[in-house]
Chain A
């Protein structure tokens, strides 16, 4: 079983829509979690860290549920520029990446 699993999508949404997706992790010892964004096979870049209390950064909200071992990302008021692959990361002593969720925002 992979350490981090994501719904690959694709999620195809109109501009202005809200889109949300989850990622599950298998290692209960994982201590930190992140969402990275990757554009067209360029290098991944940090989107946001994920905290137990949930955190928000503009139109993006991340949530961590330790009991069920999943992380979520919600994007409100989607923009065309949000089209990308979103990678979920669990960090214990090494970084474990999910395969990514593809989001396409259409005009």
Chain B
């Protein structure tokens, strides 16, 4: 079954404690991206990747890091989380061809206290 898998689904952590949210897709997609969603602000792009070892900043990259060592994985790293990073996070993947659908993971609800 084609899918994008995010883990964990829920996480409560403390300020400053490094964390990683994993994202994996089994569709051999080149393009992967991370979004955060906050009430009234919609989906805002954090980082995206056009292929292995190619990553670029989105609209709200501050406080986040990503890596793309393999095609299927695109982890999101918060080196020193802060309360303003409390949000709902989605990972998405698609083929690079622009006319194709994006598939989303189920989301990660992160709370930083």
Contact = CB atoms under 8 A, between A and B. Distances in A.
Q: Do A and B come from one complex?
A: yes
Nearest to B96: A93
Interface stretch (A13-21, A41-49, A59-67, A70-78): A41-49
A23 to B, nearest CB: 11
B45 interface: yes
B104 A94 contact: no
A45 B103 CA distance: 7
Give the interface residue-count category, chain A.
Answer: 20 to 34
Contacts of A55: none
Interface stretch (B10-18, B35-43, B73-81): B35-43
Interface of A: 6, 8, 31-32, 34, 41-46, 49, 87, 89, 91-100
Contacts of A91: 98-99
Contacts, number: 60
Interface residues of B, number: 26
Contact of A41 (B44, B45, B107): B107
Counting chain B CB atoms within 10 Å of each CB, the highest count among A41, A43, A49, A92 belongs to: A43
Contact of A43 (B45, B90, B99, B101): B90
Contacts of B107: 41-43
Given A43-B107, A44-B90, A94 B48 contact: yes
